[in-house]
Amino acid sequence: MTSITSQTTTDKLIEATREIWKAYNDHPFVTGIGEGSLDREKFRYYIMQDFWYLKDYTKVFAIGLAKATNVDNINLFAQSIAGISAELNVHNGFMAQLDITEEELDTIQPSLDNLSYTSYMLRVAYEETEVEILAAILSCAYSYEMIAKEIMRHNPDAIHDDFYGSWIQAYGSDTYAASNQTLIESLNRLSQHYTDAQIDHLVAIFTACSRYELAFWEMSWQMQ
């Protein structure tokens, strides 16, 4: 067993939120994607709310870019912003299938959970350093990879679903995993000499964002 002293920062973040992350995979919205049985009206609501979320999520990366202290981190945040553009392309495919119009996207209001989540991340971004920003970002980015891979592990054929298969493939892909690995390595490197108190603060940020992620799935399930 790995000793506590040899744990990386991200090891500690994941360990602290293990039960919350387990709840993602048990949530009916997520299991519905994996089974191909999720009501498409619920997914339609999710896609529109997530489109709004991604706009502010991009701003968090942009603030990280402005606060980056070296070239490597500048490139990290810049490439991540480009990666979100690719993620939006996946959304665009679903928007076409679900007949989501630009007018709808222009007028949609974020749910209270959505607004609370993005407001929290933006506050972290404005008030803290690039390290804390990475901790906030990682909860969303990495959890989607883990959810998709868990779906694929339990049901390999899920990637062939006519509707939800492209979502699972996108977040379960090697390309998406590689971008997350870069975030993880950067967070571990930048926090290598953090004190216990500073690590505890990163855990608190990561835990808050993980709880918001779970609330986002519930918000999408309830469509409210």
* Residues involved in catalysis: 140, 213
Q: Write out the DSSP string of 155-213.
A: -GGGGG-TTTHHHHHHHTSHHHHHHHHHHHHHHHHHTTT--HHHHHHHHHHHHHHHHHH
153 to each of 34, 132, 145, 165, 171, how far by Cα in Å?
A: 10, 31, 12, 14, 13
d(CA 119, CA 114): 8
d(CA 177, CA 5): 26
Quickly count: other Cβ atoms within 10 Å of residue 58's Cβ. 16
